[in-house]
Structure 1
Amino acid sequence: MSIDADGRAFHLDPRDPTFFADPYPAYAALHAQAPVAFWHEAGCLTVASHPLVERILKSRDFGRVLSQDGSGRPVRGDIPDHLAHFYELENHSLLDLEAPAHTRLRALLTRSFVSRRIEALAPEITSIVEDLIDRFDPSSPVEIVSAFAEPLPVAVIAGLIGVPREDTGHLLRWSHAMVAMYQMGRTPEVEHRANDAAREFRDYLLHVIGEKRRKPTDDLLSGLIEAETDSGKLTEEELVSLVVLLLNAGHEATVHQIGNALAALARQRVPLAPLGEDDALLERTVEEALRFDTPLHLFRRFALRDVEIGDRILKRGEEVALLLAAANHDPAVFPEPARFDAGRARIPHVSFGAGVHFCIGAPLARLELKIAFRGLARRYPKIAPASPPRFRDSYHFRGVERLDVTL
């Protein structure tokens, strides 16, 4: 990493193994020397300051898309043939919409994604956690990502939405291929895999939706099919894109958060056992884990008009990268940010974003994390790493790729 002497720009290779294994020293350098600076490899201005990141997330001066057709949907120009299926889904994705399209779709989703539906999942999540832990072999190290962190969220979100659990292998494969598109430095191979996955995912969901129309059940997908506001129901394209987003976002980030949290607790020597009996401590630990090593490190916004950021002017149409994980380690907001402290003052982190695009799945993620940590703490309170965690080369999603533990 190299920062210009005036602190207005820096070079940093996100594929550097030293960086993606531990990006926090680089973030600390940004806070000290360049909290608002141009990142050459990202091609845009970046913001590490917590107050500024939070302000931009909430500001109507910034949006996820710049060119719109009046409905809040993106206008992308020419799309390469090898990405046609991928962008067919993206054009209706809640993440890439602004008002009024975003407002309408979010309202329809909220009608089905209500808190009581999430709270009612607790027994089912507990059952999945216990079943996965039952499969551990305590006589040898357990690879906790593949044995626990990965199968738990995908089983939960599949059950919530109403797709067969036996299909989760397909969901994981499609999701991994599509999420790779959001990483820095994607290749043509990544694009082709994502496009194929988008086509297969769409065809699969159209079949499931057809079945739900004929025979509705008590699940989110059936609820979305029936959901309606004054603006009408979801179109078939909107429904497919929304379910793809829920399935992808509903497990990718939680997989990484479980792995990241377990690695952090071990590295910081935080005992697991008390989390099995102290609900207040468990809740604080989950919030600190979300702050300490969140999966989503970077989120981009376009300036919708000329706007001042710190001492910089961002012109309309220019992009800004919000470093969410760096903001969560802002020493001006979180004293000793590199220390895991479940007792620290509850200052809102930005791990779930903020403003109109605040993560609608945040309550589900928190519930899964609490039940997962409680289950592990009660069954195997002395979990310890058998070897250092290995992080995946996937910036700006950060996640443990492999973590072997002894029970």
Structure 2
Amino acid sequence: MSVSTGLTLSAAAPFALADRHVSAQPRELAFYRDPYAFYDAVHAASPAFFWDNYDHWCFAGFKDVSLLLRDKRFGRQILHLMSREQLGMAPPKAHTAAFDQTEKYTLLNLEPPAHTRLRALVNRAFVSRNVEQLRPRIERLANELIDGFAADGQVELLRAFAAPIPAIVIAEMIGMPADMAMQLVDWSNRMVAMYMYGVSYETELDANQASIEFMDYVREMIAERRRQPREDLLTHMLTTEVDGEKLTDDEVISTTILLLNAGHEATVHTTGNGVKAILESGLDPKALFADADQTEATVEECIRFDAPLHMFTRYALQDVTLDNGLSFKQGETIGLMLGAANRDPSRFAEANRFDPFRKDGANVSFGAGIHFCIGAPLARIELQVAMQTLFDRLPGLKLATEPQYKNIYHFHGLERLEVSW
């Protein structure tokens, strides 16, 4: 497929598509504030395209993304099959050694059998029937937070409401004190910056320092649990055997940090993006949260419409030729465009319209296959309870200023969300 016309987001941030190649700068303001203009262009031109800035193929179509997330010929890890030299990878950076250590045993990057072993250990805590029991705690927490600012008439909603709920809930599940939640958020935010395009040396140093502090804290908690076990997930990880073996401390540390980071980051973005979408839609919140079924549908549309994660990469674990004729050598990277897939016009009627009453709702925001988000049931309950409580308690809620997105692509979330009532 060939597209000869360069398409433009703005004079400051052009992107062009030609012969299935794309040039687009994800750190430019016009791009990260509205990547959907870019997605519209690639859907119209070539939903499978080579993104020159990333130097790999990307897939934007809902069907392709959904299938490739499940395709076991692609995986999150490759160094168990090929060396850095074979892949042309640079050696590990000494100044990010601590960050790399946190990634070494993370569920997000492992492949079977290591992934299967670790996931089996923690999965029980996150199944729907177990997290459903947290609903009263989440509702109580949401009301307590709103009590703290309801009389003020205005608030920055992300820090006052969206961030504390998932951070406190996941901290308590693991067995950490609620008053540590915002410190955990700080460490997490600094570490997550490592996933951005074009990370600076200063960002790498800061993420590494955050990793050191985070690991030191988890080690302290591990030592405490060994002295005094409790009924929490951290104790469970330390004491339960998997295939006749216990997890090492390094595995427990990586898993704990992943659960804390992933357990709040995406939910914060989805809460902010969702509240923004609802307020900008002009729809009556009473109708959007009229009952449990409609609340669930509204949250699912928030997750689809403005996803918190926009690209997830995979390695080819073997030489692969896809049905569309594209071929990949073992070790090559592909990008799966979750945010674009959720706006695929061939899958969704009026894909760019926020419609909590749509009948064709679906999304790939939580991934699929063996790396489907383990915390999805918890995230859905947190979002349902938080949003319904917020709009019930503050029926006059409105945007006080125009929300602006953070420069954090692949992630997609707001810098601030100033609201009033």
* Structure 2 residue aligned with 1:384: 398
Paired residues of 1:272 and 1:383 also in contact (CA < 8 A)? no
Paired residues of 2:166 and 2:267 also in contact (CA < 8 A)? yes
| 2:364 is the counterpart of 1:350 | yes
Larger mean CA deviation between 301-310 and 145-154 belongs to 301-310
Aligned-partner SS, 2:334 = strand
* CA drift at 1:308: 2.8
* Structure 1 residue aligned with 2:275: 262
Matches of 2:69 and 2:420 in 1, distance apart?
A: 41
TM-score (norm 1): 0.95
Paired AA for residue 53 in structure 1? V
**Which one of 341, 348, 355 corresponds to residue 327 of structure 1?**
341
* CA drift at 1:271: 2.0
* Structure 1 residue aligned with 2:61: 49
Paired residues of 2:289 and 2:298 also in contact (CA < 8 A)? no
| 2:188 is the counterpart of 1:175 | yes
* Structure 1 residue aligned with 2:330: 316
> 1:76-123: CA deviations, max 9, x gaps?
873221111111111111111101100111111123434333111111
CA distance 1:217–1:235, change in 2 (3 Å): same
Paired residues of 1:305 and 1:315 also in contact (CA < 8 A)? yes
Matches within 5 A, 1:182-193: 182-193=195-206
Paired residues of 1:275 and 1:377 also in contact (CA < 8 A)? no
Paired residues of 1:138 and 1:406 also in contact (CA < 8 A)? no
Matches of 2:95 and 2:304 in 1, distance apart?
A: 38
**Which one of 12, 36, 50 corresponds to residue 48 of structure 2?**
36
Larger mean CA deviation between 224-233 and 79-88 belongs to 224-233
* CA drift at 1:346: 4.5
Matches of 1:347 and 1:169 in 2, distance apart?
A: 33
Structure 1 gaps of 5+ residues are none
Matches of 1:121 and 1:346 in 2, distance apart?
A: 29
Aligned-partner SS, 1:96 = coil
TM-score (norm 2): 0.92
**Which one of 74, 87, 95 corresponds to residue 108 of structure 2?**
95
Aligned-partner SS, 2:247 = coil
* CA drift at 1:402: 1.0
Paired AA for residue 48 in structure 2? V
* CA drift at 1:347: 4.5
Paired residues of 2:400 and 2:420 also in contact (CA < 8 A)? yes
Q: Number of paired residues?
A: 402
* CA drift at 1:138: 4.2
Paired residues of 1:300 and 1:322 also in contact (CA < 8 A)? yes
* CA drift at 1:45: 0.7
* CA drift at 1:69: 6.2
Aligned-partner SS, 1:98 = coil
Paired AA for residue 151 in structure 1? P
Larger mean CA deviation between 182-191 and 130-139 belongs to 130-139
| 2:70 is the counterpart of 1:58 | yes
* Structure 1 residue aligned with 2:6: none
Paired residues of 2:138 and 2:385 also in contact (CA < 8 A)? yes
CA distance 1:130–1:243, change in 2 (3 Å): same
* Structure 2 residue aligned with 1:13: 25
Matches of 1:321 and 1:338 in 2, distance apart?
A: 22
* CA drift at 1:144: 1.0
Matches of 2:413 and 2:92 in 1, distance apart?
A: 30
**Which one of 324, 337, 341 corresponds to residue 355 of structure 2?**
341
* Structure 1 residue aligned with 2:157: 144
> 1:142-177: CA deviations, max 9, x gaps?
211121111111111111111011212321121011
**Which one of 398, 409, 416 corresponds to residue 395 of structure 1?**
409
Paired AA for residue 352 in structure 2? A
